[in-house]
Amino acid sequence: MAIDSDVLVAGGGLAGITAAVAAAREGADVRLVSYKASTLRQASGLIDALGYVPPTEPAKALREGPPTAGRGVDPDEWPDPDGPLADPFAAIDRLPADHPYRVLGADALRDGLALFDDLVGDAYGGSHTDRNALVPTFGGSVKPTARYPRAAAAGLASDDTPTLIVGFRSLTEYDARAFADRLTAAGVPFPVAGVEVEFAEAFRADAKITRTARALDADEPIDGTPAREALSKAVAPHLHDIVDGDGGVDRVARVGFPAFLGDDHAAEVRADLADRLGADVFEVPMGPPSLPGLRLEDRLYDALDREGVRFETGNPVVGVETAADGRVDSVTVSRKGREVPYAADAFVVATGGLVGKGIESDREGVREPAFDLHVPHPDDRYEWFVDDAFGEQPYARFGVRPNGRAQPLDAAGEVQYGNVFAAGSVVGGADVAREKSASGVSLATGVVAGVEAARTAAGAETTDAATEASQ
Amino acid sequence: MNEAADVIVVGGGSTGCGVVRDLARRGLDAVLVEKGNLTHGTTGRMHGLLHSGGRYAVSDRKSARECIEENRVLRDIASHCVEETGGMFVKRPEDDEEYFQEKLEGCRACDIPVEVIDGEEARRREPYLARDVEKAIVVPDAAVDPFRLCVANAADAHEHGARIETHAEVVDVLIEDGAVVGVAVEHRSGPGKRVHRKPGTREEIRADYVVNATGAWAGQLGDMAGVDVEVRPSKGVMTVMNTRQVDTAINRCRPKGDADIIVPHETACILGTTDEEVTDPEDYPEEEWEVDLMIETLSELVPVLKEARTLRSFWGVRPLYEPPGTGTDDPTDITRDYFLLDHDERDDLPGMTSIVGGKLTTYRMMAESITDHVCEKLDHEATCDTAEAPLPGSDDFSVLRDYMEEFGVRSPIGRRSVQRLGSRADDVLNGTDPNPVVCECEGVTRAEVQDGIDAAGSDLNAVRIRTRASMGNCQGGFCTHRIAAELAQQYPEPVVRDAEDELYQERWKGQRHALWGRQLSQTMLNHLLHATTMNRDGDPAGLDGDVAFDAFDAGPGTDAASGTGSPDGTAATDGGVDGDR
Ligand SMILES: Cc1cc2nc3c(=O)[nH]c(=O)nc-3n(C[C@H](O)[C@H](O)[C@H](O)COP(=O)(O)OP(=O)(O)OC[C@H]3O[C@@H](n4cnc5c(N)ncnc54)[C@H](O)[C@@H]3O)c2cc1C
Ligand SMILES: Cc1cc2nc3c(=O)[nH]c(=O)nc-3n(C[C@H](O)[C@H](O)[C@H](O)COP(=O)(O)OP(=O)(O)OC[C@H]3O[C@@H](n4cnc5c(N)ncnc54)[C@H](O)[C@@H]3O)c2cc1C
């Protein structure tokens, strides 16, 4: 039986899911095909919109000329970004002209965030204002973000509540003392101390953090003591660790932990700990595997179900069949070596960027492998980078370039296929990492691509019906 | 601090470290000064082949003989720095048969044990060798870890009373009454371990004798003393692959040429190299074509290399020397031999000798001959024992075996730590509890990182070379911050932050040369982790402006929620949270 739908979305990350839901809500019959796990399991779970306008001039090199062994950057001279920005929308005009926010308009970001808010409900905070929140990161910094999981809400930095940051001796991701000192150096308005405690050391040294989360979920005994009790006992002696300038002590009123306070019963674990400690409890988002990212992924897949989107994972889109009019008829999906055509009236490419393998490269160049869309990039591989690791890296902006309807453009700036739309990290032009705009770009492009694809499909049907009627 | 030493050794590469060890073991009071960390120069940027001598068996039999002799010595005294990979000279159909025979004869003439095997057998041993490889000469090449080797030499020197100063650059050679009497040194962060943000100091160190072991930089030191040292620095590229496509050092059996050798190292394989004269040993172009050449040419021997993932590339400069008047044009023709330049004899400048040329494999022999020379100058009678005395970590390997049995460290991580640490494993691994893994790619635990920090201060690149932490697939993406976090027990926050930034930027340098395919994906992931998740680049702690915290969302129902901050949406104002950056 032929596989056919109004809209076919390739890629099941944040962007693909957003596009699929947006298309479904326009009344389209949507199918989503995704290859592997999305980058959500690596992501922090925060939804950034726009936190900085990064400098585009290069950091001052220690030496002139091409890259050489002796050339480096002078750390005292690297230019500061514009930010952190309290208002993401007001800064959009200061981004480069080919940035997706500029191309699609600020309303795309608003619509994307609104759709996200609707999908996750009260699991996330931040929708009550246009303003960014500053959230502590496990690098000991604070970063501007637009939406944050409930688990992180008690940790917002714009608050003078005395804070304790907890680290575990057997966890090497951060040292809580350096973390607290770095927050202080950032000028946070609250007094903060850090402590490294002994917890769950009975687990094998190489146990994954998910192991700890499960132990807290089930409150399973560790060395005889139930996990939650053990954790609060380890932390309790440090609730008075903050010493002020006059030698007085402040009792902390909130405690930050690495983000593995439970998985399935996270809210319950937090509430239980807060109760035992007599202080609010918050999670600091961590690197991969990231529980907040995984929890978000679960929610979004549930939303796909609710919205009636059919989805399958495990099989990649490997190519397209085009019709005579230059539209895409179907995509080819590789199912265990068998190539199966999936037909649709419109398509959304949301296959991710360099990390998600939606954008690929070799020594000769950069390409989008599934639809063979145009990806502008310098011919010379040595122009893909600059000396400063955190500088204006051309590779960070690699991706397809859309028009205002999220249609990818070819090398001549023309729409490549009339019924193909692009969303998420496969879209270039943004340095989402330095801008702190990753999820925002996915949401904004996702909404536009989804809506446009659904409308294009509806138009195609009307045309088909008209043709049939006239015969 | 300013009392006179017997000997100052300038340069902390294999040569300088070997010399200071030998001097100290012979009872002389020696000081080593190095402007970077140990192995900062060529030694930290070489191929890591412990030559059997096979490579020189046709062109330079004297070097070949020295190599096989020292190859045997190092397996003995530096067993924890050497991996016995074996080596092969492989012949492809287009390679000259006559040369193959010459190579074989040359090896035999130099007492290098050889075995000739056919293509089938070669592929049985190394399955990824090209189908059309015809035959191979098997030789006792090995892989050597230059970092561990230098650190062990310096540690032994230190145990015998030597002073080791890294991040101490010689800025002048002191001359009084026509003789060298010492050096002026700039300590980047004062004498002793390097600690970020500790102010630099200047020191004059006096001694009866100065040894210039600055390799490719020897000419610069010569200039400070007003003498000519004609080193001709020649650069070579090395490209690191993410796995060991081969477990044997594979050489192409042909006269000379670029890109003709692959050396397996720890978890990786290193392709090399090129040979091009440069003017400045620190400032020369690192070029794309050189990397491409490695992959293209060496995939003739091992075809999978074409698709394999490269992690990074790096360049080193050979300290080639040729006696004045030789006039060789092509750097590949310059001898690989080493030379002692006695500046008293040569330039009427007593008190200093330069040692130039040579290779890492023969570092100990070079050190022995210059130490003999210095002892003669100083009228100091003592015999050299560096060919017999094991280096720290390599002594008494049976202890190691017992250790592995006793503690059951058979997990891959335990086994790798023990390989790296040798007989020091017991000391280092005991007593750190808990001992979680800090660098997952290379299996480096907290105990090893802490041991590195004890020795090297907040200089994480020095910790890296001691432990291999951050040298695997992720190139520091997943562990730079973790390694830095280990500093927090001893150092304040800004030191930790600076050290972290420095290591991250250093790791980036080599990766730039591998920015395609999977490594570009990894780079983007690292970028997202450090810039997005951690916000290292936009950390207000490092920015000049103050942040108006009250302009940001403080949660529903709070003042700031509605936004009372600056109207233009930018919260940063002038000021400076941390202006001392
Ligand atoms: C380490 C890390 C940290 C992050 N932190 C944050 C953060 O703090 N804040 C924030 O806002 N955002 C963050 N993000 C970004 C965010 O999680 C997403 O990466 C981003 O929104 C892009 O999503 P995407 O849907 O375009 O791509 P992806 O998540 O990459 O999804 C693409 C999907 O497409 C699939 N696919 C690829 N090729 C094919 C094919 N040929 N056929 C079918 N399917 C295919 C992939 O398997 C994958 O499932 C982070 C990302 C990373 C990697
Ligand atoms: C590409 C390449 C591959 C190689 N492969 C091999 C191989 O496989 N096997 C092998 O045996 N050999 C190999 N070699 C050769 C070998 O690496 C070198 O011969 C050896 O490392 C030289 O050591 P060195 O101590 O003399 O010099 P270096 O290691 O360069 O040491 C000199 C030191 O002096 C320091 N210095 C300079 N100026 C000053 C100053 N003013 N004050 C203080 N310190 C200063 C430098 O920082 C440097 O650390 C290779 C070389 C190259 C370039």
Q: What pLDDT was estimated at residue A467?
A: 55
Q: Does residue A293 fall inside a structural domain?
A: no
Q: Is residue A16 part of a domain?
A: yes
Mean pLDDT of A176-192: 96
- Cα separation, B467 vs B424, in Å, equals 13
Of A158, A183, A388, the CB nearest to B552: A158
Buried b vs exposed e over B64-95: b needs ≥16 C-beta within 10 Å? bbbbbbbbebbbebbbbbbbebbbbbbbbeeb
Helices B363-378 and B14-25, packing angle to 10 deg: 50
Tell me how far apart the alpha carbons of residues B406 and A49 are, in angstroms, rounded to a whole number: 55
Q: Is the CB of B12 under 6 A from ligand 2?
A: yes
> Are A395 and B520 spatial neighbours (Cβ–Cβ below 8 Å)?
yes
Q: What tokens does B532 get?
A: 């997005």
Facing B540 at nearest CB: one of A138, A142, A381: A142
In a shared domain, residues A345 and A464 = yes
Average model confidence (pLDDT) for chain B?
90
* A88 shares its domain with A176: no
Q: What angle do CA B378, B384, B387 make, to 5 degrees?
A: 150
Residue B535 at interface with chain A, using a CB cutoff of 8 Å: yes
**Which DSSP helix (H) or strand (E) runs through A211?**
helix A209-218
B408 pLDDT above the threshold of 50: no
What tokens does A95 get? 């981004």
State pLDDT tens for residues A193-203: 999 999 877 77
The amino acid sitting at B380 is H
Q: Please name the residues between 92 and 111 in chain A that touch chain B, using a CB distance below 8 Å.
A: none
Q: Give the residue from B46, B512, B552 with the most A CB atoms within 10 Å of its CB, the best one to mutate.
A: B552
B109 touches chain A (CB under 8 A): no
**Contact between residue A420 and residue A407 where contact means Cβ atoms under 8 Å apart:** yes
On the question of pLDDT at B563 being above 60, the answer is no
pLDDT at B568: 43
Cα(B563) to centroid(ligand 2), Å: 59
Shortest CB distance from B488 goes to which of A142, A175, A189? Answer: A175
Does A274 reside within a domain?
yes
Ligand 2, pocket-test mutation among B359, B370, B465, most atoms within 8 A of CB: B359
Q: Which is the closest atom of ligand 2 to the Cα of B39?
A: 49
* Pocket test residue of B532, B536, B537 for ligand 1, highest count of atoms within 8 A of CB: B532
CA angle, B489 as apex, B486 and B495 as ends, to 5°?
A: 75
For A328, the 3-state DSSP assignment is strand
Same domain, A235 and A280: yes
Q: What is the secondary structure of A67-86 as a DSSP string?
A: -BTT--B-GGGPPPPB--BS
pLDDT per position as a tens digit, A14-23:
999 999 999 9
Pick the closest to residue A147 from A124, A168, A170 (CA basis): A124
Number of domains chain A is built from: 2
Q: Does B524 contact chain A (CB < 8 Å)?
A: yes
**Pair A231, A194 in one domain:** yes
pLDDT value of residue B204? 96
Residue B347's H or E segment, with its range, is helix B343-347
Residue A76, domain member (yes or no): yes
**How far is CA B46 from each of CA B81, B143, B281, rounded to the nearest angstrom?**
15, 11, 14
Neighbouring C-beta atoms of residue A327, cutoff 10 Å: 17
* Mutation target among A71, A74, A87, A222 for the B interface, most CBs of B within 10 A: A87
pLDDT value of residue B576: 33
Co-location of A143 and A113 in the same domain: no
Burial of A82 (0-12, 13-18, 19+ CB in 10 A): middle
Instruction: Write down the residue that tokens 């291999």 correspond to.
Output: B468
Mutate to test the interface with A, among B553, B559, B573, B581 (most CBs of A within 10 A): B553
- C-beta atoms of A393 and B527 within 8 A: yes
| A306-345: pLDDT as tens digits | 999 999 999 999 999 998 888 999 999 999 889 999 999 9
- What pLDDT does residue A72 have? 66
Check if B494 contacts A (Cβ < 8 Å).
yes
pLDDT at A1 over 80: no
- Is the residue at A130 inside a domain? no
User: Domain holding A144: CATH number?
Assistant: 3.40.50.1860
| A269 and A150 in a common domain | yes
Largest separation between any pair of C-alpha atoms in chain B: 88
Confidence band for A115, pLDDT divided at 50, 70 and 90: very high
Ligand 2 within 6 A of B213 CB?
A: yes
Residue B398 · residue B239 · CB < 8 Å: no
Domain coordinates in residue numbering, chain B: 82-142+234-318, 431-553
Residues A149 and A59 in one domain: no
Tell me how far apart the alpha carbons of residues A443 and A259 are, in angstroms, rounded to a whole number: 24
Residue nearest ligand 1's atom 31 by CA: A13
Q: Average pLDDT, stretch B142-153?
A: 94
Q: What is the pLDDT of residues A43-62, one digit of tens each?
A: 999 999 999 999 887 666 66
Q: Between B315, B488, B539, which is nearest A178 by CB?
A: B488
- Residue % of chain B over a pLDDT of 90: 76
Gap from A377 CA to chain B (nearest CA, Å): 12
B164-208 residue pLDDT tens: 999 999 999 999 999 999 999 999 988 888 888 889 999 999 999
Asked if residue A299 is part of any domain, the answer here is no
The reply to whether A145 and A103 lie within a common domain is no
Nearest-5° angle of CA A120, CA A124, CA A125? 140
A160 and A78 co-located in one domain = no
Residue range A393-399: mean pLDDT, rounded: 97
Q: Is the CB of B359 under 6 A from ligand 2?
A: yes
Residue B37 clears pLDDT 80, i.e. is over it: yes
User: Which residue range is the domain that position A105 belongs to?
Assistant: 3-117+312-317+338-399+415-470
Contact between A260 and A209 under an 8 Å Cβ cutoff? The reply is: yes
Tell me the mean pLDDT in the region A247-267: 91
pLDDT of residue B336: 75
pTM for the full predicted model = 0.93
Q: Which of A39, A158, A282 to mutate to test the interface with B (most CBs of B within 10 A)?
A: A158
If pLDDT is split at 50, 70 and 90, which confidence band does A79 have? confident
Nearest CA in chain B to A425: B524
Q: Which among B434, B501, B533 has the least Cβ separation from residue A137?
A: B533
Please report the number of interchain residue pairs, chain A to chain B, with beta-carbon separation below 8 angstroms.
Answer: 297
DSSP H helices in B37-164: 61-77, 97-109, 119-125, 146-159
Q: Is A33 in the pocket of ligand 1 (CB under 6 A)?
A: yes
pLDDT at B409: 44
Arithmetic mean of pLDDT over chain A: 92
* Ligand 1 pocket member A433 (CB < 6 A): no
In angstroms, the CA B254 to CA B96 distance is 7
Asked if the Cβ–Cβ distance from B538 to A86 is below 8 Å, we say no
Is the confidence at residue A31, as pLDDT, over 80? yes
Please tell me which residue, A410 or B419, carries the higher pLDDT value: A410
* pLDDT for position A440: 98
Question: Which range is least confidently modeled, A293-297, B293-297, B393-397, B504-508?
Answer: B393-397
pLDDT of residue A57: 77
Give the phi and the psi of residue B302 in degrees, each rounded to 5: -130, 90
Which CATH superfamily is B82-142+234-318 part of? D-Amino Acid Oxidase, subunit A, domain 2 (3.30.9.10)
> Is-contact A199 A210, C-beta < 8 A?
no
Are A103 and A157 within one domain? no
Pick B563 or A213 by higher pLDDT. Answer: A213
Over residues A223-253, the pLDDT tens digits come to 889 999 999 999 999 999 888 777 777 899 9
Q: Are residues A155 and A263 in the same domain?
A: yes
Rounded Cα gap, residues A176 and B139, in angstroms = 52
CA separation, residue A43 to residues A267, A299, B579 (Å): 20, 15, 32
Residue A123 has pLDDT above 90, yes or no: yes
Q: What is residue B466's three-state secondary structure?
A: helix
Phi, psi of A194 (to 5 degrees): -125, 145
pLDDT mean over B465-476: 92
Report the pLDDT averaged over residues A139-157.
97
Smallest CA–CA distance, residue A460 to chain B, in Å, is 37
In terms of Cβ atoms closer than 10 Å to its own Cβ (0-12, 13-18, 19+), residue A20 is buried
Query: Over 80: is that where the pLDDT of B470 sits?
Result: yes
Question: According to the model, what pLDDT value does residue A59 have?
Answer: 65
By C-alpha distance, the chain A residue nearest B42 is A69
A contacts of B546 (beta carbons < 8 Å): 187
- The Cα–Cα gap between B225 and A426 comes to 59
For residue B305, what are the CA distances in angstroms to A118, A152, B84, B257?
A: 49, 46, 23, 19
How far does chain B reach from its first CA to its final CA, in angstroms?
30
